Structure formats: structure tokens, C-alpha cells
Amino acid sequence: MTQANITVRLYGLLSAYGGPRELFLEAETLQDVFLQLFDMGIDKKLLGGALIFINDISLIGPMRFRHRLSCGDIIALLSPAGGG
């Protein structure tokens, strides 16, 4: 399979890792994106709990990491928020 050129936007605590808040990556699946983000030093626990949106559509469930990406996809990763 071919890799897609995608944009990843980081929000909340995910954007505080010290790098850019918007990344341009090449990946085939969402799992590939997460592996690249781990390699950049983003906290695995924080990233593992992130809300995931691709082109403004929420992805949930264990199969979300196998989602095949298309060129131009925009992935938004939001850290979970707490409150009360």
C-alpha cells in the first residue's frame, strides 16, 4: 500500500510536548501516525487516551488504529479533559 500525506493537529496537553502543534506526516494507517508520534517523544499514555477525529469525524473502538488514511486527511488529536 502507499502512504498518504496527511496533517496531524495536536490540541490540549498534546500540544505541550515542545514540538509543533501541526505536523505533516506520511502514513498508511492511524497506527503508523501514532508510532511516529511516539518516536517524537509524545507521552504514550496521554496519546493513548486522546480523542481522535479524521476530517471532523470521530473514530472510536479498537479497530480505529487500522483506519486507512487518504492523501489530504486531517487528523485532530485532543487530550482528554477533566473537570467537575
Domain ranges of the chain: 4-67
Q: How many angstroms separate the CA atoms of 49 and 37, rounded?
A: 14
pTM for this predicted structure: 0.87
The residue with greater pLDDT, 80 or 45, is 45
- The DSSP H or E segment spanning 36 is helix 30-39
Q: Which fold has domain 4-67?
A: Ubiquitin-like (UB roll) (3.10.20)
Candidates 54, 12, 58; CA nearest to 30 is 54
The residue with greater pLDDT, 37 or 13, is 37
- 52 confidence band (pLDDT: 50, 70, 90): very high
CB 69 within 8 A of CB 4: yes
